[in-house]
Every structure is written in C-alpha cells, then in structure tokens.
Structure 1
Amino acid sequence: MNGPLSTLKILDFSTLLPGPFASLLLADMGAEVLRVESPSRMDLVRVLPPHDGGVSASHAYLNRNKRGMALDLKQAAAVAVVKQLVSEYDIVLEQFRPGVMDKLGVGYAALSAINPRLIYVSITGYGQTGPYKDRAGHDINYLALSGIASYTGRRDSGPLPLGIQAADIAGGSLHGVIGLLAAVIQRQATGLGQQVDISMTDCAFGLHGLAGAGYLAAGVEPELENQALNGGSFYDYYRSRDGRWFAVGSLEPAFMQLLCAAIERPELASRGLSQRPEDQQALKAQIQLEFEKRDFADWRERFAALDACVEPMLSLAEAVEHPQLQARGLVTQVPRGDHPPQAQIACPIKFSAGLPAPRHIGAALGAHTEEVLRELGYAAEQIAQLRADKVVA
C-alpha cells in the first residue's frame, strides 16, 4: 500500500512545529519526505522533553516516516547536493525568515531555474512581504496580532494561552499542506511549479470565520464572552460537584429540551432562545447551579444515554481510552528499530483504500545522508571527503 500521495517527493528544510507537522501529514499519506537539517544548528524539538528511550517523544512523532539528511548549507558543496536533489524532489518545504534561503543559494529563484516544476512552500510568521516580514514571533504573537486572542478568554481574567498551537498548526501546517496540494493540482495542468507563501498570522486571521464575517459585513466587534460561541451564551463549560467539567453545546431547541430535562429544569428550555446577554448570563447561572448538585460520574452516565450535545471534558489520558477514539484507530504503534514500538497519534485522515503502515519514528540526525548521496551517484570516496570537510553528517 503506497498511499494517495506516493508520487510526491518533498525536501523538508523546516524545524520546530509548523513545517514538520505539515510534512508528517504528507509522509503519513505516502509522500516521500527527505528532511534536511543543519549538522551544527540543532532542531530544538530533538531535545524537547519528555523523552522515551533517550529520544524526544515530540521529535519521534513529528518526524516519523521521513528520511533524514544533514547538510551544512553554508558550504557550496552542500548547495550543489540540494541542486541535484531538486531534479527529483520537486517540492520544497521551508520555514526560514524571508531571504535566508536566497542568501544560502537555495531560494525559489535559484532552484526553480533548475527545475521549473518546482513547488516551493514557505511557512513564516508574517509572510514574504509587509513591514513585519523579518520580525520574530511565536504562536501566541500571531494569535494576538490576528485578533483571535481578543475574544478568546474570560472578561474577568482576560485572554488565555491555548492548549495547542493554533496559529502554528491550523495556520501554518494545515494551510501549508492545502497550498502545496493545490499547487500540485495546478502543476498537473500547466507543467509549472510556483512558490506558496504561507503566513501563520494571515492564516490565523483567516480562521475568524463567523466572527470575522460579522465584523466585516455588519460591524459587530467580537469581544470576550460577547459571542454565542465564546462564552456569551449558555454554550459553555460547567463544573460538576467534584470539580470536573462538562461541555454544553445544546444550541438547537430539541437538544436544549433534552439538556434541561436531564438537569431536571425543563422550564429553562425556552430561555435558551433569548438573544439578550443578561438573559443568557442568568440562564448560565441556573445551569451551573444544577451541575453542582451531582458528581462527574453521575452526570457522565446520565448524558451518555442522551443525544443532547453534552459531553464530559476529558483529560488526554481519558481521551486515549474513549471508545469513539479507539474505534477510529487514533493511536498507532510505530516501529523504532530494535526497541519495542512507540505509541503515537495516528494520521487522522481516513481513506477507503487505506494508508501505509507507519515505517519508523523520527530518525537520528543525518541517518540517511550516505544513502541519499549514493542514490545521487556519489562514490564512497566522495562521501568520505564530504564528511571530512563537514559538509554532511
């Protein structure tokens, strides 16, 4: 089984999270990904705790199914290797600040001159243009500047750091994959590649969805707890007597009736239709009072039998054991050489034709350097010289 993307060959120059998560999805779906790293500037994910058998669990996951090559791109001989590779690996994924790859001699202009079919995906914080293009940033900064953080949190405590890196993954990784695949489809029609410019701030801004449409078309500014879906209505989390939480999403009248019947307050159902903020806050207070009368286990058993859009808030450990996630096969066992397989999150995209089984966890630095050089036609003595010159590792 090869996977739906088995015809794609990708050179991945990215580090940390956004690019590697994008290429993980591509590799899981069958693409051949060759990760090119610096032999002297470590990807910090390699040392990110926790570790399993001396290997960072995050690195082992983000880089599974990828081959790894170590090249010092500051040396001309390494640039020559990349220029050979792009005749075959005709998709590049990179995550440097704008201009860095150009200075190294492996930017889009230089490589597309060798292979006009080259698709070159650049993931950055702020994009290839604009006054912030050279500015440093992290996920929290992109969410702040895009406006998302301004209405994510509580009025009494302000914005909050999210549990996941939404701008990095939903912004950078997923939009990077979308842009890459769209360019592949266009190349099939035209025979030509192109550069795909992915700004994590732009893509986070694109995630505003309903709130963005409401502001731009109707002038309604989203703020903390003033939207139906950000805590401004009864659509919210409620604490049980023993301090656990439930997510209540019973927006439709039929679901609201089931919710109110379950908490033994059927008269509250009609109040869910009110658009007045004060009515919604009063309704939330009444629902919270009822949830505080029973423990988590009691509520969980009661709502398990109802299709009311009410679910328990699970820890990650509990989510792993949930029968729905288990039925969907969201945990997979990944080979790691002579050691027992490592449990990892599986590719969440399902295909009727299936996907290839995971091949290996993230590789050691330069694990496949010699193998790749031999495929390019380098002789043993040439490879030895490159190692001696510290061009490769």
Structure 2
Amino acid sequence: MKKALGNIRILDFSQYISGPWGSMILAEFGADVIKIEPIKTGESFRIRLMEDPELEPLFHLINHDKKSMTLNIAKPEGQEIVRKLVLKSDVVLENFVPGIMDKFGIGYNALKKLNPGIIYCAVSGYGQTGIEEWVKKPSFDLIAQAQSGVLDIYNLYEQHPPLAIADISTASYAVICILIALNYKNMTGKGQFIDLSMLDLMYTLNLRTNIIQYVPKERYENPRPTYRTWKAKDGYIAIAVSTHRQWNNFCKAIEREDLTDDSRFDFPYKRWQNRDILNPIVAEWFQSKTLSEIEQIMFDAHIPCGRVRKKEEIHEHPQLKARGMPMTRFKFEGFGRIYMPDVFVKFSETPGSIERMAPKLGEHTDEILQEVAGLKMAEIKALREKEVI
C-alpha cells in the first residue's frame, strides 16, 4: 500500500529527540528519511549508548524506519555531498545551535539557491532571531522546561522532569510545520525556512503562566473536589465532573442527590470555594469502594473517570492492547521482551507502519551516494579514504 509521504525525502541532521522524534513520525508514513551522522561515532545519542547501552531500545524507538549515512560536513567534500543530496530532497531538518550549518556553507540561504523548493526546518533552544547572546545558547529538554516556567508549575526544583515534553512537543510541532510548508510548496512551488524555538513553544504550551494573569493562583493550587484524583480501597482514581448534567449524575452515583439542590455546590466555582465541606463527603464515598466498583458506577452515570495505573503496568491496558499499541516484534539481545508503541494514529486510507529497526551507523551510505547523489563506487571509495564518509 502506498504511504501518504512516500514521495518525500528528508535530510535529517538532527540528534537526540527534539528533531528525530519528528522525522520518526514522518518515516512511519513513508517519508524517505536519511539520517546524516558524523563519521566514526554517529550522532550524539549513539555516543550516549556507548556509555549507557540500556537506552538502546529508546534509540530504536526514535529512529526506526530511517536510513543512516555518515558524512563529515566540516570538509568541503562533505559539504558538496549535501548540495548534491539537496537537489533531490524536499526537506532539511536540523537542531544545531543557530549558525552551524551556515558556517559550513550549507545553511538555508545557500541551499535554497540550489533548490528553491527546499523546506528547511531549524529546531533550536531560543530561535534564530532576537538577542544574539540567547540565540547562540545551547539547550536541552530540561533547559526548555526550566526557562519556560514549566518546572516551576510542577515544583520540580531538585529533580529533572519525568517526561521529555519539550523535546517531544517540539519535534511533533516540527512535523506540523513541515507538512504546512509542503502544502504551500504544492500550491506555489516555493520552499521556506522554519524557525522553531523550544522556548517559544513551551511558553505557548504553558497555559498556566497565561491563566494566572487573570485567575487567582490559589484556584490551581487547590483542586476542585470533582476534578482530581481520589483514593479508593485499592488504589487511586481520577474523575472529571465539569458540566451541570455531570454534576447531577455524579450526585446520584454517590447516592447524595441532596447535593444537587445545595446552593453551595451548584456551580464548579462554588464547589471549589466550598471544597472543605465537599471534600470529606466525596472522599468517604471513594474510600468505601474498589477501583472496579467506581469505574462501573461512573461509567453507568456517564462520568469520565480512570484509575491511576502504575507505569510498569500500562503495557497491559486492555484498550491499548485491543488497538495493537504495545508491540514486541523487535528483539533486543539481553533485554528480554521490550514493549514499544506502534503507530499511534489510525488512518483509513494511508496507515503508517513500523517496519524496520533503527539503522546501523552508516548502513545506507553507499546506497544513498549512488542512488541519490549519483556517485560511482570509485568516488565513494576515495571519499572513505579521505574520511569524508
């Protein structure tokens, strides 16, 4: 079956997660992703694996279904190879500190002269414009979460965040940006430069920082009794009661219909104001039930709810399994069975798929140089002798 992005070629210079997560999504839907890596060591994540081999499955998760070629872009011959590849490519993706690709003569302004339709997506910590001191600063997920106030929101002052939401969000938005640019190219034939700043994005996603300008901070430091987690007999469960109908249904479900006529609780804000009265009532009911009992009662009452599952158990979630999300077809020596998420969005006509593990370093170098750059084996041999590839 032909995939939706089967006619798109991407030159991916990015490393770690903030770029590769995006090219991973594009590869799942058929894009020909060429992962261009430094010779001998490969990208920074591969170097990390030398010190911490337990992360190997994560590397495969982020880089499956891509091709790998090695290239020394610091050498003129390596830069010339990039120019040849750009002529037959649609997208360049990189997450270097701004200015690196320009220093080597293969930045956007140079490449668009060769291919006016090229789409160049540059992911960086602070963006390509603004205060020069900030533009030149390196960044990582942790730094982006710190600078954007996210760590403060979660009060993470003495530990790192449990999820790389800055990296993953930035890479996911890179996919959106690239697809927007591809559609514009289809309409006009013109490529463009995409300046994607991790700080800008995390500032945008940090809705709490926006909301506290006009909603008292206290409201978010003390959750509503009907929009939070509660302790049951055998664990914790989350409920979300937002509408008036849901509130009435909830009161019936916990056998306290009298609360529906209580003016202290007739609006969400009032339920928050009077939480010291309502919390003990709700807590007593939840603590008297098991998770399974609560789930069934809330389901029957059309109340959104869900038990708080242990991270070690999420692979056994019945709905995830029913949709084929946890997959184990890739085998990792010494790790036993490793669950990895399959393609998480289902298309009716052009479904994505995961077909190959991450490539070995330079696995496709010769193939790419011959088929895309048009080099002969003698030329490839000479480049290898010069440590260009």
After TM superposition, the score normalised by the length of structure 1 is: 0.85
Query: Which residue does the alignment assign to 2:36?
Result: 36
Shift of 1:159: 9.9
Residue in 2 that maps onto 1:136: 138
RMSD, aligned CA: 3.1
Deviations 1:175-205 (A, max 9, x none): 1111111111111122111110001111122
> What is aligned with 2:188?
190
1:358 is matched with which residue? 354
Worse-superposed segment, 274-283 or 343-352: 274-283
**Could you list the per-position Cα deviations for residues 318-341 of structure 1 after superposition, in whole angstroms to 9, with x for gaps in the alignment?**
332222222333234556799999
Once residues 286 and 52 of structure 2 are traced to their aligned partners in structure 1, the CA distance between those partners, rounded to angstroms, is 36
Match of 1:173 in 2: 171
Q: Aligned equivalents of 1:381 and 1:148: distance in 2?
A: 53
**Deviation larger for 85-94 or 271-280:** 271-280
The alignment partner of 2:180 has SS state of helix
Following superposition, the deviation at residue 356 of structure 1 comes to 4.8
Shift of 1:305: 4.6
1:8 maps to 8
User: Aligned to 2:219, which of 219, 226, 238?
Assistant: 226
The total of aligned residue pairs comes to 378
Q: Which residue of 1 aligns with 2:198?
A: 200
Residue 245 of structure 1 corresponds to 236
- Hey, what does 2:106 align to over in structure 1? 106
Matches within 5 A, 1:233-312: 233-234=224-225, 235-242=227-234, 244-269=235-260, 271=265, 273-276=267-270, 277-303=272-298, 305-312=300-307
| Distance change >3 Å, CA 160–CA 84, structure 1 → 2 | same
Deviations 1:93-139, CA, capped at 9 Å, x for gaps: 00001101111221111111111111000111111112221223332
Q: Is the CA contact (8 Å cut-off) linking 2:42 and 2:70 kept in structure 1?
A: no
Q: Is the 8 A contact 1:2 1:356 kept in 2?
A: no
Query: 1:26-175 counterparts in 2 under 5 A?
Result: 26-46=26-46, 47-48=48-49, 56-131=56-131, 132-152=134-154, 162-170=161-169, 172-175=170-173
Give the match for residue 387 of structure 1.
384
> How far apart are residue 151 of structure 1 and its match?
3.7
Q: Which secondary structure does the structure 2 equivalent of 1:226 belong to? A: helix
CA distance in 2: counterparts of 1:222 and 1:162, whole angstroms: 25
Contact 1:303 1:311 in 2 (8 A): no
**Taking every aligned residue pair, what percent have the same amino acid on both sides?**
28
- Give the direction of change, closer, same or farther, for the CA distance of 1:167–1:281 in structure 2 (3 Å limit): farther
Relative to structure 1, the CA distance from residue 308 to residue 51 in structure 2 (aligned partners, 3 Å threshold; closer, same or farther) is farther
> 2:368 aligns to what?
372
Gaps of at least 5 residues in structure 2 are none
Q: What is the TM-score with the length of structure 2 in the denominator?
A: 0.86
Alpha carbons of structure 1 residues 241 and 335: separation in structure 2 relative to 1, 3 Å: closer
